Amino acid sequence: MTEPTPLGSRRSRILGGPRSEGARSALIAAVSTIVFFGLAVLLVTNAPGWPEVKRSFFSAEQFRDSFPDIVEAFGLNIRLFLVAEVFILAFALLLAVMRSVPGAVFFPLRLLATAYTDLFRSVPTVLVIYILGFGAPTLQLSGVPSSPFFWGVTALVLVYSAYVAEVYRAGIQSVHPSQEAAARSLGLSQPQALRFVILPQAVRRVVPPLLNDFIGLQKDTALVALIGPVEAFRQSQIEVAGSFNYTPYLATALLFILLTIPMARFTDWLIARNRRRELAAGGR
């Protein structure tokens, strides 16, 4: 058995420079960052149009006036996101499993799932939202809500499930066939092997790319504004229309950034942790 730690450190030395110079590289990084961003700020603030830009995009007064309303509207983005996320996780898993079922009999199932993922990954999200948001309520289906919130969520679920299904499928395929053989050899049925042996391993492996897709989903909740609901982006448009000052757009952007950064760092942390674990287990 090889020891995992030397392998890990050897690798990071190759990729990231020798460890003994850690303090020095931190200093260089800090100085370089300050110089780089200092120059960038100087360049922008000395541009001829800067006073004009500052007035229309960075107005503190406008920010104070519009921010509470935008924050309130942003609650709708979060609701859209959370509701869509739950359905995406379940529906995409179903699609991925459909595509992974072996056997000639299940060809139509695989075909259906493949066609679905192809279709919804190729049509722009904004079009799906438009078509469903304006088209579906016109059908006046009984028992189906006609609210833009409902159809907005539906559109997001349809589109994102196609992406997430592919992520799940990659996870399923990454589990070595010998795991399935081991499960089946013990007398477990195909669905049991999938449920108890393959899916738990597959899902664990794809958590980081899943979170990555959800960062995309958080942003795309703004597209639902196009069919009516007043979420943060729509609210900022309203504010801008009233004042001809663009600061509310920046306020909205700030909110999305605040929501995304923790998720992005969490994803990075998960990836790093998985990597450590794989290096630790890879010694065998």
> Judged by CB under 8 A, which stretch of 105-113, 195-203, 217-225, 244-252 contacts another protein?
195-203
> Judged by CB under 8 A, which stretch of 28-36, 83-91, 147-155, 181-189 contacts another protein?
181-189
The whole-angstrom separation of Cα 87 and Cα 35 is: 46
Count, residues near another protein per rule CB under 8 A? 21
Rg (CA), the chain: 25
Burial 176-211 (b: 16+ CB within 10 A, else e): eeeebeebeeeebeeeebbeebbbeebbebbbbbbb
CB 208 within 8 A of CB 113: no
Residue from 1, 14, 60, 139 touching another protein (CB under 8 A): that is 1
Report the nearest approach of another protein to the CB of residue 171 (Å). 13
The whole-angstrom separation of Cα 3 and Cα 114 is: 43
Residue from 36, 196, 266, 269 touching another protein (CB under 8 A): that is 196
Centre a 10 Å sphere on the Cβ of residue 156 and count the other Cβ atoms it contains: 26
Report the nearest approach of another protein to the CB of residue 2 (Å). 11
Residue from 182, 257, 261, 272 touching another protein (CB under 8 A): that is 182
Handedness of CA 116, 174, 200, 180 (dihedral sign): positive
| Interface pattern 140-179 for another protein (x via CB under 8 A) | --------------------------------------xx
The reply on whether position 197 binds another protein by CB under 8 A is yes
Report the nearest approach of another protein to the CB of residue 181 (Å). 5
Give the binding site for another protein (CB under 8 A): 1, 178-179, 181-189, 192, 196-197, 200-201, 204, 280-281, 284
